Structure 1
Amino acid sequence: MPTIPTPTAEQLQTQFELPSAPDPAAAAPMTVDGTVRVSFATFGVLLLGAAIGWVTLPIVPFLFIGAAIVGFVLALVNIFKREPSPALILGYAGAQGIFLGGISSLFESMYPGIVTQAVLGTFAVVGVTLVLFASGKIRASARATKIFLVAMVGYLVFSLINVGLMVFGVSTDPWGLRTGVEIFGIPLGILLGVLAVLLGAYSLVLDFDFIQKGAQNRIPKKYQWTGAFGIMVTVIWLYLEILRLIAIARR
């Protein structure tokens, strides 16, 4: 019966130092199709949460406010996390869905038909932006991104000041300066709403650009979740801005 030769210490050391076999899942690159599938999954969770928020508003009126706080915290965690976490991103989608469902139901009770208008408006902006980006008509650039960031900071500062004036009773208007101030007879909120929609559209361009370059550079597959998260954040922001814009216009 043949004997099995015993490896020497040098042979064992050589085998120990050999690199391990690559993990196929870790080596798989990010793709546009994969990002689309992940995006559908996150928006599916978002819509499920929206249905819950819409139905439960009369029963638990403040549920959507709690969901908004949870969604905000999860958004910050996902933004500053070094690597994407599917569980946290799906959790954000669910919490924001409940918030959107609740606030949409509230607006619908005050302005019948406004939710349909806001949804169609959001689809229109996303669709047009996607077509323009896919056809090469619009692209992200360093200069445009700098202008976008400056405009975003300015819009954020205005929003914080406006909320502060409303909280401390300086402005008694339901929308604060957005409807308390007019320019050539047009409420300031209308002009700012149009600006916000344009900013949201360019934010979508940045999201699409990240996904396209990520696929071209074959970055790890896990960053498909980052692309899906970016699109979801932008679409939610767009919907809320369009909802508010229509509400101010319908006053």
Structure 2
Amino acid sequence: MSFFDRFTKSNNPLLKEESLSRASSSTLDGSIIERADDNVMTVSGAVNKSFLMGLLLLLTATYSYANPSGLFLWGGAIGGLVLVLIMSFKRHLSPTLAPVYALLEGLFVGSVTAIYAAGFGAGIVFQAVLLTISLLFMMLFVYKTGLIRVTQKFRTGIMMATGGIFLVYLLNIGLSFFGINMPFLHEGGMIGIGISLFIIGIATLNLLLDFDSFDQAAAMRAPKYMEWFCAMGLIVTLVWLYIEVLRLLSILSSND
């Protein structure tokens, strides 16, 4: 199965329904088991793990923001990606690797934030953090009140849109090695702003899929380690959303 197939068949690039179901009912050798209540995932447990990972990310992000370097930027980005890929195949390693991922991702986020702050002022950082947190709680309210229901059609549509965006990202990265930039993707003007708003919209809707994954995994009585795995999926979405909000604010600042 290709990477794109794996991506588009999941709630989140990391949280596949079939994976959650398989993890909830079998051991590493595939045998079916019944878990005690203290050995299964709970929503509150996943939320607590998410907060912990957020604090770890904030810790290293603060350090790398104050001491930006290319090593932190690329080391955090590549190291975080490698850990995500490992956990995608070895979910039982999440309790060990997910905190390390948060620390590495913090190095990346802090370095990116420092770059934007140097170019557009520290105020853009506060605005981006505030908007990201606001979007998080807004979508949590939307999910809990059922204003938007996570149906299979909704899930499939968001997955396809997310997969398409990441394919564009990959294509843009590949073209950049030849000195070519995709038009409008990182540019100002109404088209550039519209593209940025669309990407932010898709990233925000992915939060609904993350919340739904918490509930699904808990309902399936997934093993305890899935709390870390699901928490990591939420952190991945939040980092993506934050970076895109920073990008939009920088575009708007450039147009002033």
- 1:56 equivalenced with 2:67 (yes/no): yes
- Report the Cα offset of residue 122 of structure 1: 0.5
Q: The residue matched to 1:92 in structure 2 has which SS?
A: helix
Does 1:93 pair with 2:108? Answer: no
Contact 1:166–1:176 (8 Å) recurs in 2: no
Give 1:81 deviation, angstroms: 1.9
User: Residue type of the partner of 1:137?
Assistant: L
1:203 equivalent among 202, 206, 229? 206
Q: CA RMSD in A?
A: 2.2
Show the counterpart of 1:168: 178
Identity percentage of aligned residues: 33
Partner residue of 1:178?
185
**2:236 aligned with 1:233, yes or no?**
yes
State the Cα distance separating 1:27 from its structure 2 match. Answer: 4.8
8 Å contact from structure 2 (residues 185, 196) kept in 1: no
Contact 1:207 / 1:227 at 8 angstroms: preserved in 2?
yes
Say which one has the larger Rg. Answer: 1
Q: Residues 91 and 226 of structure 2 are in contact (CA less than 8 Å); yes or no, is this contact kept in structure 1? A: no
Q: Which whole-Å deviations, capped at 9, do the CAs of 1:148-179 have from their partners, x for residues lacking one?
A: 222123212322333333331234xxx85325
Match of 1:40 among 47, 51, 61: 51
SS at match of 1:138: coil
In 2, the alpha carbon distance for the partners of 1:23 and 1:186 equals 54
- 8 Å contact from structure 1 (residues 108, 115) kept in 2: yes
Q: State the SS of the aligned residue for 1:30.
A: coil
Structure 1 residue 88 displacement after superposition: 0.5
State the distance in 2 between where 1:204 and 1:46 align.
18
For 1:40 and 1:239, the matched residues in 2 are separated by 16
Where do 1:127-206 residues align within 5 Å?
127-171=137-181, 177-179=184-186, 186-188=190-192, 190-206=193-209
CA distance in 2, matches of 1:110, 1:134: 38
The 8 Å contact of residues 56 and 99 in structure 2, kept in 1 or not, is answered as: yes
Match of 2:135 in 1: 125
TM-score after normalising by structure 1 = 0.80
1:213 pairs with one of 216, 222, 230? 216
Letter matched to residue 60 of structure 2: G
Amino acid of the residue matched to residue 224 of structure 2? K
TM-score (norm: length of structure 2): 0.78
Contact between 1:71 and 1:96, CA under 8 Å: does it hold in 2?
A: yes
Return the structure number with greater relative CO, CA threshold 8 A, min gap 6.
2
Structure 1 residue 202: Cα displacement: 2.0
Q: Distance in 1 between matches of 2:248 and 2:196?
A: 5
Q: How many equivalent pairs are there? A: 220
Give unpaired runs (5+ residues) of structure 1.
1-21
Alpha carbons of 1:34 and 1:110: their partners in 2 closer, same or farther (altered >3 Å)?
same
In 2: Cα distance, 1:166 partner to 1:245 partner: 20
Unaligned runs of 5+ in 2: 1-33
